[in-house]
Amino acid sequence: MDSKLKIYVAEDHPLTREGIFILLNDLDCEIVGISENGQDTINWFKNNDADVLILDLGLPVLNGFDVMKFLNKNHNKVKTLVLSSDIESTTIKETYKLGAKGYILKVDKDYCLTEAINLIVSGKSYYSESVNKGFILEAEDEILLKENIKELSDREKEVMNNIAKSKDFCAKTIAADIGVNASTFRTYTERIRKKLGLKSNIKLVKVALSFFERN
């Protein structure tokens, strides 16, 4: 049985690809596929598998986010290692939510690539020293929050929708809109806060604005 690690490389810059290939010589691995755009990457994974996907987020045609969304939708078990120049919080958090097991920067030291691959195939995660680990904690909190939101009753979700589309966030106005008195509305918000682990109504409003319909 072939025990070599199967690696797929999705990177559109030739020089970066060549650098990856050189660094992978230090691993007992086989490069099973290469693509220069997201669509070709998706097409390959429709009929093939790899242990690790080294993924550039800025791929043309379809980007790295599109690739990860496809992999998630199709329950693919490949471990994704993102290779990027972007250190923005929204980017890093989104890759985490989409299941990336690691995130390294193109300016990182050479050893980071092989170190990251070894860690993620062992079931751990790897994030560049340049990546703010607080972003990952925030992403974890948001994932948990989304799961808790699913547990809200239909009536509680209606309350949150009305909070989200409120113009002045006046409790009496929102209560009237959903046909209850202020006391009942307060009971709803207290129950929702408890379910979502929120400590204040300000945080409740922020969650409503972030995760519920505003129109």
Q: What string of DSSP letters covers 173-211?
A: HHHHHTT--HHHHHHHHHHHHHHHT--SHHHHHHHHHHH
Query: Mean pLDDT throughout 46-57?
Result: 97
pLDDT in tens, 62-94: 999 999 999 999 988 999 999 999 988 899 999
- The pLDDT value given to residue 134: 76
pLDDT in tens, 143-156: 889 899 999 999 99
- The pLDDT value given to residue 2: 60
What CATH number belongs to 151-211? 1.10.10.10
Indicate if the pLDDT at residue 1 is higher than 70: no
- The pLDDT value given to residue 138: 83
Selected residue with higher pLDDT from 139 and 192: 192
Question: What is the value of pTM for the model shown?
Answer: 0.73
Indicate if the pLDDT at residue 215 is higher than 60: no
Q: Which two tokens stand for residue 17?
A: 């690809």
CATH pick for 5-132 out of 3.80.30.20, 3.30.565.10, 3.40.50.2300, 1.25.40.10:
3.40.50.2300
> Which residue ranges make up each domain of the chain?
5-132, 151-211
pLDDT in tens, 98-141: 999 999 999 898 889 999 999 999 999 999 888 877 777 788 88
Name the least confident of 41-45, 58-62, 140-144: 140-144
pLDDT in tens, 6-22: 999 999 999 999 999 99
Which of 44, 38, 99 lies closest to 72, judged by CA? 99
